[in-house]
Structure 1
């Protein structure tokens, strides 16, 4: 499938539970999943690697996450980044020309004008019974990295692979100073994120629930899924066959 992450997500949802394997090729602006597998951003080079992988029969079952029944390949974001994705989709015609610049612009617009960072928006209920009542932004990952900043992976759960359960990271505060400090520390040393004062991190979980008094935005693999007051997450091991380069670090 030569496509961006959103279209790749739709293809994956159609193939869940079948014997047909998904072969991703980078056709979008960020191509998080294809690059996570070790494919280059160049479609010609990526095609050669995928063909070599097919010849070597390098096809594996991977796990996927789901939110309210919609499967995702690399992550689902709740809150701030989902609002950012929504703004980006409104300007989708500019993606090809502006690339990452569009994400930066929409990120700043969302940060300063479109998402209320002064209060919590939802509660996160973990499978061990713990509840985080003051969630401002949550990302549920099926694999790492969370995204790419240019050529650099933005690692939130560095040890997470495509055969592991989900990882959950919740920020309980979004004031500029602590948030920017967290981003800087994470870029330098991803391991520091889990000990940060405004972060609740669960390395491996098979499921969780998010509840909200008012509908909150959520996105999966960069696709806006709308707003909801109840989000139910599950991990589905071995649910999708994927053509994977032999270089992928299992």
Structure 2
């Protein structure tokens, strides 16, 4: 087997020595080429080159969710083609690693490498569904390129929090769970329109849902982690179904406290619920519109402001070694 290892040198939880050990372990089991990313989007370019190659069987992403997202978008640049596109393996190296942990992989990079080698020896793999966003025809965002996401995407409040976190990281702050909590609080205080919903959700054959303040599309559960605590905004979301949606139409101080507590105590059996909460399961396609441009995030990556985004759940999109 020939494999490409894409290494993010800025991965927050792996040292250079640990990366060297992991590379040696993987190289003992396969013909391995390791490439270190040098710029934003480099992992995507490497994934695309691997997909266009005739002799790469597997791409291993060593990094956080952002690195995985880039590799996936490179592999699927020309669309899903299970059996023709190289498989994906993940060695978690970020601060949260939602995709890897949702697959059942250990959060420790060394343990995850051991699990990966075991899976390769046993031929253990699965083909997972993914989410795809695109510009909506007839809107100013029509020409925006399509982009895949592995575990979630959001328009509105949560994407604003992601943007704030990225600003702090650009200033040298370390990505920690405490940093995210602080930015949630600052977003609540600093967002002047948080009491008035601007998002409308449309889906084929159904009435529109309007006045949402945030809308999160999940491709799996949990949605994220707070430390080692899993958070289930959409408990039934799965790699084997379409997309699930969680939305809120009110974010007053009392409602934020209520739904925040429900999220902290959520489980695979029960997520946030109430008259101001929207929960939808297994959707194939829907569109979010906003009169005012709102921030968009995918897999924890802030992608700027959008007024209209179409979401599609694509089943059996990519082969993953687990």
Regarding TM over 0.5, the answer is yes
1:205 has 2:283 as partner: yes
Using the TM superposition, name which of 102-111 and 65-74 deviates more.
102-111
User: In 2, Cα distance between the equivalents of 1:115 and 1:239?
Assistant: 39
**C-alpha distance in 2 between matches for 1:95 and 1:115:** 27
What residue in structure 2 maps to residue 32 of structure 1?
Answer: 98
- More displaced 10-residue stretch of structure 1: 106-115 or 153-162: 106-115
Q: Distance in 2 between matches of 1:67 and 1:73?
A: 11
Aligned position for 1:14: 74
Q: Is the 8 A contact 1:83 1:115 kept in 2?
A: no
Once the two structures are TM-superposed, the CA of residue 54 in structure 1 deviates from its matched residue by: 1.3
Match of 2:131 among 56, 65, 86: 65
1:133 aligns with 2:199: no
Superimposed CA distance per residue, residues 159-194 of structure 1 (whole angstroms, 9 cap, x where no aligned partner): 322111110111111112112112212433445546
Aligned position for 1:182:
259
1:96 and 1:33 map into 2 onto residues whose CA distance is 23
Q: 2:177 matched to which residue of 1?
A: 100
TM-score normalised by L of structure 2: 0.72
- What 5-or-longer segments of structure 1 have no aligned partner? 245-250
- Secondary structure of 2:200's counterpart equals strand
SS at match of 1:91: helix
Counterpart Cα distance in 2 of 1:115 and 1:147:
26
Find the counterpart in structure 1 of residue 65 from structure 2.
5
Q: Which moved more, 1:33-42 or 1:216-225?
A: 33-42
Whether the 8 Å CA contact 2:92–2:107 is kept in 1: the answer is yes
Counterpart mapping for 1:220-239 below 5 A: 220-239=298-317
Deviations 1:51-79 (A, max 9, x none): 11111111221111111121100000110
1:144-172 per-residue CA deviation (whole Å, 9 max, x = no partner) reads 11100110100122232211111011111
CA contact (8 A) 1:182 1:193 kept: no
Query: Following the alignment from structure 2 to structure 1, what is the Cα–Cα distance between the partners of residues 113 and 188?
Result: 37
Partners of 1:212 and 1:158 lie apart in 2 by: 26
Counterpart-to-counterpart distance in 2, 1:193 and 1:100: 21
Instruction: Please tell me the root mean square deviation across aligned C-alpha atoms, in Å.
Output: 1.8
SS at match of 1:23: strand
1:64-111 CA distance string (max 9 Å, x none): 111112110000011011011111111225787451121112221111
Compared with structure 1, are the counterparts of its residues 83 and 205 closer, same or farther at alpha carbon in structure 2 (3 Å cutoff)?
Answer: same
Partner of 2:46: none
How many residues matched? 244
- In structure 2, the partner of 1:42 is 108
CA distance in 2, matches of 1:221, 1:210: 17
SS of residue in 1 equivalent to 2:201: strand
CA 1:229–1:101 in structure 2 vs 1: closer, same or farther (change >3 Å)?
same
- Structure with bigger gyration radius: 2
- Comparing 97-106 and 61-70, the one that deviates more: 97-106
* 1:248 alignment counterpart: none
How far apart are the structure 2 equivalents of 1:193 and 1:45?
30
Are 1:218 and 1:226, in contact at CA under 8 Å, matched by a contact in 2?
yes
Contact 2:234 2:279 in 1 (8 A): no
